[in-house]
């Protein structure tokens, strides 16, 4: 097992994290915002439909709503996104958000070993900033999530969101590190496809929304961020990346 861990980690100089469902448990809030959105439209929906929306861009979700429930009188996509995003922003601004278990330890370990950190999310910049601000105020290790990442890329800063390769392509370009020296942690099929379209080693994080048959493209599947932390901590002699000053 240690040999496998060594082969996975020995070349990694950067870890790029998805945001929703990886650093923060915001996927249920996305689901909640869509319930509110559909309730306001007086649409009778199923929980299976709501669960299938999670992990995809809001644009594609509004298209799914149109196709499933509003085919005779479809919503304007941009207007639908605007309304849904306002609901979601209200929810994430209204409540304290905490990092998922293991994220703080992973960040501190990366900083200690000189591994660069990236954040690549289909969420728009306003949502990313709101979530990182809340995380900065609600974590055990006093980590400033607004400044800890070497790069953050949002869905409104590229031409196409996940599953298109654009977000991860931009992230590795800004990091200035070869893709074979990067590692991605994702929790959705769209994110996994995006990472693998860039030939980046991808770890899939299981959750209630990620069906097992949607993880096939990932290089490794884990149950918790702590699995990655334990892998790194079990190899104390491993030199991961080049340690930076400070």
Q: Indicate if the pLDDT at residue 246 is higher than 90.
A: no
Please check the confidence at residue 74 and state whether its pLDDT lies above 50: yes
Q: Is the pLDDT of residue 242 over 70?
A: no
pLDDT for residue 25 = 93
d(CA 155, CA 167): 7
Distance CA(100)–CA(91), nearest Å, equals: 18
The CATH H-level (homologous superfamily) assignment of domain 2-25+98-233 is HAD superfamily/HAD-like (3.40.50.1000)
Each residue of 78-136: pLDDT tens digit? 999 999 999 999 999 989 999 999 999 999 999 998 999 999 999 999 999 999 999 99
d(CA 115, CA 231): 15
What pLDDT is attached to residue 228? 93
Q: Which of 135-149, 156-170, 205-219 has the lowest mean pLDDT?
A: 205-219
Residues 6 or more apart whose Cβ sits within 8 Å of residue 229: 102, 105, 106, 109
Q: Which carries the bigger pLDDT value, residue 167 or residue 56?
A: 167
For residue 58, pLDDT beyond 90: yes
Please write the tens of the pLDDT for every residue from 229-241.
Answer: 988 887 655 444 4
Is the fold of 2-25+98-233 the same as that of 28-94? no
pLDDT in the model for residue 243: 41
| pLDDT: which is higher, 165 or 57 | 165
DSSP 193-211: HHHHHTT-EEEEEP-TTS-
% of the chain beyond a pLDDT of 70: 91
- The helix-helix angle for 27-40 and 58-69 (nearest 10°) equals 40
Look at residue 12 in the predicted model and tell me its pLDDT.
86
pLDDT of residue 6: 58
Predicted confidence at residue 207, as pLDDT, reads 86
Considering only the top CATH level, what class is 28-94? Answer: mainly alpha
Residue ranges per domain, the chain?
2-25+98-233, 28-94
CB atoms within 10 A of CB 43: 14
What distance in Å separates the CA atoms of residue 161 and residue 154, rounded to the nearest whole number? Answer: 9
């Amino acid at each position: 097992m240690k040999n496998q861990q060594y082969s996975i980690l020995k070349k990694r100089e950067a870890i790029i994290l998805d945001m929703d469902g990886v650093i923060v448990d915001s996927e249920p809030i996305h689901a909640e915002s869509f319930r509110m959105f559909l309730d306001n439209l007086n649409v009778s929906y199923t929980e299976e439909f709501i669960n299938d929306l999670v992990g995809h861009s809001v644009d594609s979700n509004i298209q799914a709503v149109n196709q499933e429930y509003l085919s005779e009188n479809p919503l304007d996509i941009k207007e639908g996104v605007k309304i849904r995003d306002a609901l979601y922003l209200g929810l994430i601004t209204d409540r304290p958000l905490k990092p998922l278990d293991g994220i703080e330890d992973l960040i501190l370990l990366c900083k200690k070993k000189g591994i660069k950190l990236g954040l690549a999310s289909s969420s728009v910049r306003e949502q990313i900033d709101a979530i990182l601000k809340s995380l900065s105020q609600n974590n055990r290790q006093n980590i400033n999530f607004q400044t800890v990442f070497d790069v953050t890329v949002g869905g409104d800063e590229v031409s196409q969101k996940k599953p298109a390769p654009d977000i991860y392509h931009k992230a590795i370009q800004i990091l200035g590190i070869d893709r074979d020296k990067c590692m991605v942690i994702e929790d959705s099929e769209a994110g996994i496809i995006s990472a693998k379209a860039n030939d980046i080693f991808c770890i899939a994080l299981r959750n209630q929304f990620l069906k097992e048959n949607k993880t096939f493209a990932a290089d490794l599947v884990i149950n918790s961020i702590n699995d990655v932390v334990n892998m790194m901590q079990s190899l104390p002699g491993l030199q991961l990346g080049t340690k930076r000053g400070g």
